[in-house]
Amino acid sequence: MAVTDLGALVRIPSVSWEGFDPDNVDRSASAVRDLFDGIGIFESVRVARSISGAGLPGQPAVLATRGARNGAPTVLLYAHHDVQPPGNYSEWQSPPYEPTVRGDRLYGRGAADDKAGVVSHLAALRAFTQVVGTGFDLGLVAFIEGEEEFGSPSFAGFLAEHREALAADVIIVADSDNWSTSVPSLTVSLRGNITFRLTVKTLLHASHSGMFGGAVPDAMLVMARLISSLYADDGSVAIERLTAREAPVPDLPLDRLREDTGLLPGVAAIGRGPLLSRMWNQPAITVTGIDAPTVQNASNALIPEVSVRISVRVAPGQHTDEAWSAIEAHLRSRVSFGAHVEISDLNKGEPFLVDAAGWAVTAVKDAMSEAWGTGALETGIGGTIPFLSHLAADFPDAQILITGVEDPDTRAHSPNESLHLGVFHRAILTEAILLANLNSRA
């Protein structure tokens, strides 16, 4: 039943980014609401949205609540139903919104990130109620966000409006990965993220490259030099005042990194220090998009304007305001030839560190050991979950558990995203066991 429910959600192209049909996110929210309402254990299930800091309406979230009884704790179950854009359709082996099983994996956009997280909560609740019945004491909140992939711009407003409904003793975030398909992980650190659009202008209009080239700078020249300045010779970040975190990490062989990422033969890894430290504890910069004439449409002309989108991962322990100050100062001080530079569409998501000393951490590790048949590793991830810092600030006494249904071959955000069905089963079982144990705790 869980796989069927997941397949139905994958068929809805719920991309929350600007430029995509928002009706699909509405359809997805309605479908998720109906699934949680259908369990029959929540006192209230509804679709809700708030206003972003820019004054725009946010994407729809699903909020379901049930009050605790007899001193039992309240557990908030978080996941998100929005997905990344599909990318290049030609790179998918099967259509991105047509769930397809090949071997032991289910393929499709959102099959893992994070509609599998949504359905893992749903299936765990079904299993939990089958064992304990519907008269249990545990308080429950299901919060299924609709704009996580777009940076959660309206989450602060949502939290302010629904703070009482979201209050919980334990928060389970099903939006991370596992060490492998046979070894579970509990995520204890996340990098932050700063994204922005960088535009360089040098000319009022395009000019003949043969007649004026060599004397007049084009925007691509300035942009190339500016991007190059962001990196040291070994590919590590060259921006002063971007900090790194010192923390031990497990060993990751280069061969596994090459296999997990599709790194081509002969292409070297970048950065310095242990591989996992580079991905978990150090800053990183990626140019994720570029607006310029395509190769097919290129003419022999000096390009007057070029824009890129840049993503900067911020190491745990550094606030994004401090990091952005360093990034902006670096860029503006390295503009060549007096070119005009504009920075827009700035978004920030804070890094996060989990307090791994709480009783709930012990409880989820015990549940993972029982469900997986092996102990869990405490790991970091290089990605960002923007709303966590808001939750931690508003609910400082809540214990946050970051779990997930992904594995190294999931390829979240990429073509051919997939879910390992064995991991999916064990993630559901883990959460069902954890809920049963928490229900018995006053």
In a domain, 211, yes or no: yes
Specify whether the CB–CB gap between 164 and 30 falls below 8 A: no
Specify whether the CB–CB gap between 128 and 436 falls below 8 A: yes
Among residues 82, 169, 417, 431, the one annotated as catalytic is: 82
- Say which DSSP state 167 is in: -
The answer to whether residues 96 and 196 belong to one domain is no
How many folded domains does the chain comprise? 2
Q: What is the pLDDT of residue 156?
A: 85
Among residues 5, 147, 148, 417, the one annotated as catalytic is: 148
- The last residue of a domain, from among 329, 349, 369: 349
- Say which DSSP state 273 is in: S
In a domain, 250, yes or no: no
In a domain, 165, yes or no: yes
* Residues of the chain with confidence (pLDDT) below 50: none
Handedness of CA 411, 346, 402, 58 (dihedral sign): negative
The answer to whether residues 18 and 66 belong to one domain is yes
The answer to whether residues 8 and 124 belong to one domain is yes
Q: 């004439």: which residue's tokens?
A: 293
CA distances from 397 to 39, 143, 169, 360, 375 (A): 29, 18, 7, 12, 26
Q: What is the pLDDT of residue 413?
A: 92
The answer to whether residues 157 and 17 belong to one domain is yes
- Say which DSSP state 11 is in: T
CATH number at residue 306: 3.30.70.360
The answer to whether residues 357 and 318 belong to one domain is no
The answer to whether residues 64 and 200 belong to one domain is no
| DSSP letters spanning 387-438 | THHHHHHH-TT-EEEEEEEE-TT--TTSTT-EEEHHHHHHHHHHHHHHHHHH
CATH number at residue 151: 3.40.630.10
The answer to whether residues 123 and 234 belong to one domain is no
Instruction: Please tell me the distance from the alpha carbon of residue 321 to that of residue 315, in angstroms, as a whole number.
Output: 13
The three-class DSSP label of residue 326 is helix
CA distances from 432 to 75, 77, 100, 335, 366 (A): 12, 12, 26, 55, 12
The answer to whether residues 361 and 405 belong to one domain is yes
- The last residue of a domain, from among 296, 331, 349: 349
Work out the number of other CB atoms within 10 angstroms of the CB of residue 111. 31
CA distances from 368 to 41, 363, 425, 432 (A): 25, 9, 12, 10
Instruction: Please tell me the distance from the alpha carbon of residue 107 to that of residue 415, in angstroms, as a whole number.
Output: 9
Give the range of the structural domain holding residue 384, as residue numbers without chain letter: 2-190+351-439
Q: pLDDT (tens digit, 9 = 90+) per residue, 60-108?
A: 999 999 999 999 999 999 999 999 999 999 999 999 999 999 999 999 9
Q: What is the pLDDT of residue 19?
A: 85
Q: What is the pLDDT of residue 388?
A: 86
Instruction: Please tell me the distance from the alpha carbon of residue 368 to that of residue 371, in angstroms, as a whole number.
Output: 5
The answer to whether residues 196 and 291 belong to one domain is yes
Whole-model pTM?
0.84
Tokens of 262: 């599709």
Active site residue 82: yes
Cis peptide before 114 (omega within 30 of 0): yes
In a domain, 93, yes or no: yes
Tally DSSP H helices, then E strands, for the chain: 13, 18
- The last residue of a domain, from among 349, 375, 404: 349
Active site residue 149: no
In a domain, 162, yes or no: yes
Q: What is the pLDDT of residue 53?
A: 65
Percent helix, strand and coil across the chain, each rounded to 5? 35, 25, 40
The answer to whether residues 66 and 140 belong to one domain is yes
In a domain, 205, yes or no: yes
Q: 């590919």: which residue's tokens?
A: 235
Work out the number of other CB atoms within 10 angstroms of the CB of residue 3. 18
Q: Does an H or E element contain 125, and which?
A: helix 115-132
In a domain, 53, yes or no: yes
Instruction: Please tell me the distance from the alpha carbon of residue 290 to that of residue 36, in angstroms, as a whole number.
Output: 40
The answer to whether residues 111 and 209 belong to one domain is no
Q: 């100062």: which residue's tokens?
A: 329
Work out the number of other CB atoms within 10 angstroms of the CB of residue 134. 10
Tokens of 422: 């064995």
Tokens of 99: 């769930």
Q: 């999916």: which residue's tokens?
A: 424
The answer to whether residues 45 and 151 belong to one domain is yes
In a domain, 261, yes or no: no
Q: What is the pLDDT of residue 121?
A: 98
